[in-house]
Amino acid sequence: MTEPTAPARQRMPLHWKIAIGFVAGLVLGLFVHYGIGRDAGWVQALTQYATQPFSTLFLSLIFMMIVPLLFSALVVGVSEMGDVRSLGRIGWKTLVATVVLSGIAVLLGLVMVNVFKPGVGVDPVLAQQLLAEGAERTEAIVRDSGAQPTGVQMLLDIVPQNVVGAAANNANILALMFFALMFGVGIVMSPDSAPIRTLRRGIEGLFEVSMTLIGLIIRLAPLAVFCFMFNLAVLFGWDLLLRLGAFVLVVVGALALHMLVTYSLALKFVGGYSPWKFFKGVQEAMLMAFSTASSNATLPTALKVADRDLGLPNKVSRFVLTIGATANQNGTALFEGVTVIFLAQFFGVDLTLGQQFMVMLVCILGGIGTAGVPSGSLPVVALICAMVGVPPEGIGLILGVNHFLDMCRTTVNVTGDLGIAAIVSKGEVDPPAGLADDPPGTTA
């Protein structure tokens, strides 16, 4: 007779571990800042030889995966639009709606972060001290960021003369993203032959391997967050917590405005649908997106909602929602733009309009190349920071609140996918019964 096996012990979710690391690092750092003093010898030794090197190692691991992850994600995302040729009108309408809404999202985020300036007000001496401590370790990453091109030259540099050189230079990553987009278009336009299918499967395999390695690296996040927060709290004290709270409010406010205002206007005036009925119909998908913080994990629910509650045609909803799980990340693009400008304000890095325009372009493209999984935008944020001369180690500021913001932006992403599916459905079939405006004199 065999003995009953004990139930497997349930592991603590990663985001809870990150939250614990965030709180522990913040509390201990504040205690040292106000109780002991950041100039104590053992405190300086601890930050110099333990917490700072480990946080730098974590960032280096993320940077190591940027080129393979972005290249494979962008190529796979575009090549999946192979249906653009067969579906024609649906594919191009989806692409245009994705780019326009992503552009509006990033522009809204940049306007709000420049108006409210959540990162302004930090003691510049302390900020420069933090920059000096990390300058030697990040010199290789940001060595070319101070000479960013402007105007016409900036647009010309998007087309790389040397793809390998663009991949090796983080400051010119936009050129690599352009090449990846063109490569994906080339796959779409090539005949459906055995070599093309093999190439596409190989790039999909590269994407899967990159995501697996990112998952392993993210497991170090709890300890990395502890180190980040300890270092920053020791240096900045309560000022850090105030700036972080302001950052969260700006991000959440911008996401709410984009979802409730931009989507509603697009549904009403472009799609001719009732925004009230739309949001009422997508509640289940929004809740699933908020709970899982993953567009990919929410895809089955979104497909069900599109068919059952919105009454969208399958040929439209399946195409748009499947592509949108990776290629339409409005909320993520907005978050990336706000985060980069916030960190620039925090560290006193003055970004020109040309540099902010470049941030906007990369965020739009990054919305296509960001994986639809929790924390999938972190490598892109670190990359954009390095590209425009903002210290990449600054992402440690937002790691502790990233999961909550990830839940919020994923909700916006999934809602946007369903909204684009509804808009694209216009003209393809009769107005869906679940979204049609009520006749005058009736109530929703």
CATH of the domain at 319: 1.10.3860
Residue 436 lies in a domain: no
Among 67-71, 102-106, 144-148, name the one with the lowest average pLDDT. Answer: 144-148
CB 33 within 8 A of CB 233: yes
Say which residue, 231 or 157, is predicted with more confidence: 231
Burial of 281 (0-12, 13-18, 19+ CB in 10 A): buried
Among 274-283, 341-350, 377-386, 406-415, name the one with the lowest average pLDDT. Answer: 377-386
pLDDT in tens, 161-210: 877 777 776 556 667 778 887 888 788 888 888 999 899 899 989 988 98
414: domain range? 14-425
Closest Cα partner for 369 from 173, 195, 202? Answer: 173
pLDDT in tens, 141-168: 343 344 445 445 556 767 778 777 777 7
CA dihedral over 362, 365, 367, 369, signed as positive or negative: negative
Q: Mean pLDDT throughout 377-399?
A: 78
- The CA distance from 228 to 235, in Å, is 11
Cα atoms in the 13 Å half-sphere on the side-chain side of 437: 11
Count of structural domains within the chain: 1
Residue 289 lies in a domain: yes
Q: Mean pLDDT throughout 43-58?
A: 83
Residue 441 lies in a domain: no
Q: What is the DSSP string of 168-196?
A: H-GGGHHHHHHHHHHHHHHHHHS---HHH
How high is the pLDDT of residue 201? Answer: 92
Q: How far is CA 177 from the centre of its chain?
A: 15
Model pTM score: 0.71
The string over 429-444, giving b where at least 16 C-beta atoms fall within 10 Å of a residue's C-beta and e elsewhere, is eebbebbeeeeeeeee
Phi, psi for 273 (deg, rounded to 5): -110, 165
- Confidence category of residue 318, pLDDT binned at 50, 70, 90: confident
pLDDT in tens, 246-291: 999 999 999 999 999 999 999 999 888 889 999 998 988 898 888 7
Query: Which contiguous run of DSSP H or E holds residue 130?
Result: helix 124-142
- Which residue do the tokens 């900045």 mark? 236
Residue 135 clears pLDDT 60, i.e. is over it: no
CB 414 within 8 A of CB 302: yes
Residue 28 lies in a domain: yes
Residue 382 lies in a domain: yes
pLDDT in tens, 353-376: 888 888 888 888 776 655 545 555
Residue 440 lies in a domain: no
Cα atoms in the 13 Å half-sphere on the side-chain side of 112: 24
Residue 4 lies in a domain: no
Residue 439 lies in a domain: no
For residue 28, the cross-strand partners are none
Q: Average model confidence (pLDDT) for the chain?
A: 78
- Which residue do the tokens 């596409």 mark? 200
Residue 91 clears pLDDT 50, i.e. is over it: yes
